[in-house]
């Protein structure tokens, strides 16, 4: 396993981050525990979850994923000590006021609930799952400072922030002499490259690590057309993903053909491309089985030369930083 620092911090994390959103809805608890044990065996020390993960088919049982992780920690054997644990808060966890978003009260309650479900006394990376436009940064940072002082969280991160949200957050934290954000989770893959306009330049300026989510775009970059030809079911190729597939079928076909020319799996190529991108700390992978996990780890051995990177840019055009992308 390869390791790096999370953004400008001294925290050491694996170049792949284990995403746990499937734990509960798609992966049974015993299998989830096996996947986490396998991740440690393979050297992955960075796990990501969220308080809202774990819904059932009717949208109930939020927090179930954190509970699965908490019961895994309870088995001991250094599981908690060897894990850099990241979770998130923002989504409503109930219908009553202050059971979601980022008021100081909501943050305090969300942290306490996550600590209980996760069976731990602290969260290593506490992330805001979405921007809260109704709560001032002074309130958010005051709440986070209290939690850091109490030892309940160590670092703060964001998810799904725009570039100007990152700037707002960091300048407000700087005025308070607070570390502020250390990472951002964004949708980023070969099909979704909008963060290259302003988010990645902001991350590089402020020294934040980038944790791309959906690196395979719901499986569309994992050989979806090949699987179609083979008659294999593709769980992600429904709903919005089906629309994206229909609009990008020619490009995805060219991509799969190129992967075949290189003699590699499309999923490995997509992950290797992200690992080569500036500011990326660790793509978040969401394996449903140990075999899926091992397949993702294989991407670490794939090195892409400039000719390969240029060809991928031809298939999936990216963005230059703004404003040069759309002006001079």
CATH number at residue 301: 3.20.20.100
Q: Does a structural domain hold residue 125?
A: yes
Alpha-carbon distances of 109 from 92, 130, 286, rounded to whole Å? 12, 17, 27
Higher pLDDT, 229 or 102: 102
Q: Does a structural domain hold residue 74?
A: yes
Q: Does a structural domain hold residue 326?
A: no
Q: Does a structural domain hold residue 328?
A: no
Mean pLDDT, the chain, whole residue set: 95
Domain count, the chain: 1
For the residues 237-250, what does the mean pLDDT come to?
88
Of 42-46, 79-83, 156-160, 238-242, the least confident: 238-242
Task: Provide the pLDDT for residue 234.
Answer: 62
Q: Does a structural domain hold residue 155?
A: yes
- Please state, in angstroms and rounded to a whole number, the distance separating the CA atoms of residues 184 and 156: 9
> Is 188 annotated as catalytic?
no
In eight-state DSSP terms, residue 203 is H
Q: Does a structural domain hold residue 320?
A: no
Q: Does a structural domain hold residue 324?
A: no
Paired strand residues for 48: 19, 86
> What is the torsional sign of CA 316, 270, 20, 232?
positive
* CB distance 144 to 110 below 8 Å: no
Which pLDDT tens digit goes with each residue over 109-161? 999 999 999 999 999 999 999 999 999 999 999 999 999 999 999 999 999 99
pLDDT band, residue 237 (cuts 50/70/90):
low
What DSSP letter does each residue of 270-298 carry, written as one string? HHHHHHTSTTB---EE--SSHHHHHHHHG
Identified catalytic residue from 53, 90, 126, 206: 53
Has residue 59 got a pLDDT over 70? no
Has residue 173 got a pLDDT over 60? yes
User: Under DSSP, is residue 268 helix (H, G, I), strand (E, B) or coil?
Assistant: helix
Exposure class string for 262-292: b at 16+ Cβ within 10 A, else e: eebbbbbbbbbbbbebebbbbbbbbbbebeb
pLDDT band, residue 291 (cuts 50/70/90):
confident
Q: Does a structural domain hold residue 222?
A: yes
Q: CB neighbours of 160 closer than 8 A, spacing ≥ 6? A: 129, 130, 131, 185, 186, 187
Task: Provide the pLDDT for residue 82.
Answer: 98
For the residues 278-285, what does the mean pLDDT come to?
96
- Please state, in angstroms and rounded to a whole number, the distance separating the CA atoms of residues 156 and 188: 20
For the residues 304-316, what does the mean pLDDT come to?
97
The domain of 240 spans 3-315
- Please state, in angstroms and rounded to a whole number, the distance separating the CA atoms of residues 129 and 102: 10
For the residues 242-268, what does the mean pLDDT come to?
95
Q: Cβ–Cβ contacts within 10 Å for residue 66, how many?
A: 28
């Amino acid at each position: 396993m390869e390791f790096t620092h999370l953004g400008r911090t001294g925290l050491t994390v694996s170049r792949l981050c284990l995403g746990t959103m499937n734990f509960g809805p798609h992966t049974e608890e015993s299998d989830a525990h096996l996947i986490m044990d396998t991740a440690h065996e393979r050297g992955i020390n960075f796990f990501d979850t969220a308080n809202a993960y774990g819904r059932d088919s009717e949208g109930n049982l939020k927090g179930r994923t954190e509970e699965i992780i908490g019961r895994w920690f309870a088995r001991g054997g250094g599981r908690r000590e060897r894990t850099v644990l990241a979770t998130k808060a923002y989504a409503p966890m109930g219908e009553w006021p202050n059971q979601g978003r980022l008021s100081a009260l909501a943050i305090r309650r969300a942290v306490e609930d996550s600590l209980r479900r996760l069976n731990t006394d602290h969260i290593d990376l506490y992330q805001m799952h979405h921007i809260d436009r109704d709560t001032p940064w002074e309130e958010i940072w005051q709440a986070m400072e209290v939690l850091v002082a109490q030892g309940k969280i160590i670092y703060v991160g964001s998810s799904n922030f725009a570039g100007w949200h990152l700037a707002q957050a960091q300048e407000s934290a700087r005025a308070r002499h607070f570390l502020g954000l250390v990472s951002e989770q964004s949708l980023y893959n070969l099909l979704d490259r909008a963060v290259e306009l302003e988010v990645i330049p902001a991350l590089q300026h402020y020294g934040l690590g980038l944790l791309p989510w959906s690196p395979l775009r719901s499986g569309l970059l994992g050989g979806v057309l090949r699987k179609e030809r083979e008659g294999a079911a593709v769980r992600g190729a429904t709903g919005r993903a089906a629309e994206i597939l229909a609009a990008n079928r020619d490009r995805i076909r060219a991509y799969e053909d190129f992967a075949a020319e290189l003699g590699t799996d499309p999923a490995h190529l997509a992950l290797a491309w992200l690992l080569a991108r500036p500011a990326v700390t660790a793509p978040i992978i969401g394996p449903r089985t140990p075999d899926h996990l091992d397949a993702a780890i294989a991407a670490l051995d794939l090195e892409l030369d400039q000719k390969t990177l240029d060809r991928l840019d031809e298939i999936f055009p990216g963005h230059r930083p703004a404003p040069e992308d759309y002006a001079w």
